[in-house]
A and B are shown apart, each in its own frame.
Chain A
Amino acid sequence: EPEVTQTPSHQVTQMGQEVILRCVPISNHLYFYWYRQILGQKVEFLVSFYNNEISEKSEIFDDQFSVERPDGSNFTLKIRSTKLEDSAMYFCASSFGGIANQPQHFGDGTRLSIL
């Protein structure tokens, strides 16, 4: 069964540095998402992306964050000038259909640790 893959599985970064989290969505999916989960808490929506542009974003997704689909397979989340509170699991997801409520498939996440 096709999977969403995320790299790296664990990223350790010094506070203030930039970090890029990478995702390879399922190949025929058209909608892509990033979520974050602080340890022991619920999954929080960050952003959705379709047709090379952001379609929806949450209050968490401020100017510190950006997303990009640099080629036909990768989907990236960039966090500029990381802060301690950015430490969390970051999940990428993809779906064939869009915000009209189609099932999402999640990757296993990248654990981001900010020191």
Chain B
Amino acid sequence: GENVEQHPSTLSVQEGDSAVIKCTYSDSASNYFPWYKQELGKGPQLIIDIRSNVGEKKDQRIAVTLNKTAKHFSLHITETQPEDSAVYFCAANQFYFGTGTSLTVIP
């Protein structure tokens, strides 16, 4: 089955700085890569996704890049704000989640 690894496990940034979270996957047939934000006591919330036919996708301050050859994809958050603080999960093909990154944005 698919194996998704995610780094770093924790990340602290100053407000206004950028944050980058990276994931790798093992199954070259995987073709859908969503990113979720999970706030305390809540379920995962889809924030952006990318399919294997594109290399990059942006939505305001959030962007995701995909390198199919290397089998890795990354989440980029620019101009971070305190409300971006949460746990972020990457996933491959809907079902296979990474281990999560706890992001703290320091005001």
Contacts and interface: CB of A to CB of B under 8 A. Distances in A.
Given A91-B44, A108-B41, A45 B34 contact: no
Contacts of B42: 108-109
Interface stretch (A13-21, A36-44, A69-77, A78-86): A36-44
Interface in A1-37: 4
Given A41-B99, A42-B100, A43-B97, A101 B31 contact: yes
Interface string B18-53: 000000000000011010100001111110010100
A49 interface: no
Contacts of B97: 42-45
Q: Interface residues of B toward A: which range?
A: 20 to 34
Interface string A73-115: 0000000000000000001010000010111111111000000
Secondary structure at the A interface, as helix, strand, loop or mixed, is loop
Contacts of B32: 101
A93 B46 CA distance: 11
Interface of B: 31-32, 34, 36, 41-46, 49, 51, 89, 91, 93-100
Interface of A: 4, 41-45, 48, 56, 58, 91, 93, 99, 101-109
Name the 3 nearest CB pairs between A and B, nearest first: A101-B32, A106-B43, A45-B95
